[in-house]
Structure 1
């Protein structure tokens, strides 16, 4: 053995075992009060970073609180959390602010994301049109997740698909933003969409 030759050369399997998981960025979007912050908080393995601010009288006059009367805060920049899917993959989650007046942040938040989860409240479908249009325009893979407020939804998934006029290839599903497993399953659907896009 020469002085420059290493005394131990790890096997390929050993190298793979210690390799950190691949970081993947994913965006959670949707209208005001649909459950984006809740979804990030439900699944994040770290204490989620939130930029919640109290809803002022001025904001209450701009944002529709009729379907969220108990909501006292709103996201003014973004939410952030992460979840290790398996030893090879770690999702970094970025939640967008829901109000249109914060739309100027979207390009920066979405940059580098493999896909998006658009959360929908079926009582206020109009609020998610901007998010759907954004991902379609940017040609970013996404799925539509109908948040089951109080365990129910106001419209069927077929009705939601028709109302949003999304492509048949876009998954539309029901989930509960409060339930970790439900959020995980929804994110995995987005990941599958992203992987399918790369295989085309």
Structure 2
């Protein structure tokens, strides 16, 4: 689903947002907590056959995994809605990412400080394709806390890429993350227009 206007004569705008990140970072939780509709989820039970592939270090209690995508919708303003597409976290499902990324305004990369290295594939993906993104650090109970600056340095982010803290379980926190992304993507879009580059 591309970012589209429902009718050229009105001001309503629907934007496509990706929610990405490593295995167990909280993508399904974020989409589910902010969605105004019953979210579509394609979670399946983890199996013994997948144990050698799906590392559970730091997320030993996880019993399910997304095998296709999560989908939800949230209205930011009366004239702006976001369609959320949560990506699968495991490498073997990455063939779906190009399809999901078509027409996306930008992406949220969820980070778990217990497994921060799991963010790198998603960050590389969006940087390579010049898709605006922010990093949202999901503050898990019991995890060591770090500053936004420390996380940005550890991930070697561009100085213009925002890092925000969040709790994916809480709707208000998730909504603030999405607003931060829309604002960042808007700035990137304006900068590209000013420079005569391609539109998002």
Correspondence list, 1:137-148, <5 A: 137-148=128-139
Alpha carbon RMSD of aligned pairs, Å?
Answer: 1.6
Q: Contact between 1:146 and 1:153, CA under 8 Å: does it hold in 2?
A: no
**Secondary structure at the counterpart of residue 166 of structure 1:** coil
Report the equivalent of 2:105.
114
Larger Rg: 1
C-alpha displacement at 1:21, in angstroms? 2.7
- Could you tell me which runs of 5 or more consecutive residues in structure 2 were left unpaired when the two chains were aligned: 1-6, 192-200
| Higher strand proportion | 2
Report the equivalent of 2:152.
161
2:165 counterpart of 1:174: yes
Q: Contact between 2:114 and 2:143, CA under 8 Å: does it hold in 1?
A: no
2:69 counterpart of 1:78: yes
Q: From the superposition, tell whether residues 143 and 153 of structure 1 become closer, same or farther in structure 2 (CA, over 3 Å).
A: farther
CA distance in 1, matches of 2:89, 2:38: 21
| Higher helix proportion | 1
- Could you tell me which runs of 5 or more consecutive residues in structure 1 were left unpaired when the two chains were aligned: 1-15
Report the equivalent of 1:136.
127
2:16 counterpart of 1:25: yes
1:117-143 CA deviation, whole Å, 9 max, x = no partner?
A: 000001101111000011111111110
TM-score under structure 2 normalisation? 0.88
2:78 counterpart of 1:87: yes
TM-score under structure 1 normalisation? 0.88
C-alpha displacement at 1:173, in angstroms? 1.1
CA distance in 2, matches of 1:193, 1:128: 19
Q: Contact between 2:72 and 2:84, CA under 8 Å: does it hold in 1?
A: yes
Aligned residue pairs, count: 184
**Segments ≥4 residues shifted beyond 4 Å:** none
CA distance in 2, matches of 1:55, 1:152: 23
Q: From the superposition, tell whether residues 156 and 59 of structure 1 become closer, same or farther in structure 2 (CA, over 3 Å).
A: same
Correspondence list, 1:31-110, <5 A: 31-110=22-101
C-alpha displacement at 1:59, in angstroms? 1.1
C-alpha displacement at 1:194, in angstroms? 1.2
C-alpha displacement at 1:66, in angstroms? 2.4
CA distance in 2, matches of 1:186, 1:118: 10
1:130-176 CA deviation, whole Å, 9 max, x = no partner?
A: 00011111111110000000175443322211111110100011100
CA distance in 2, matches of 1:197, 1:173: 17
CA distance in 1, matches of 2:144, 2:134: 17
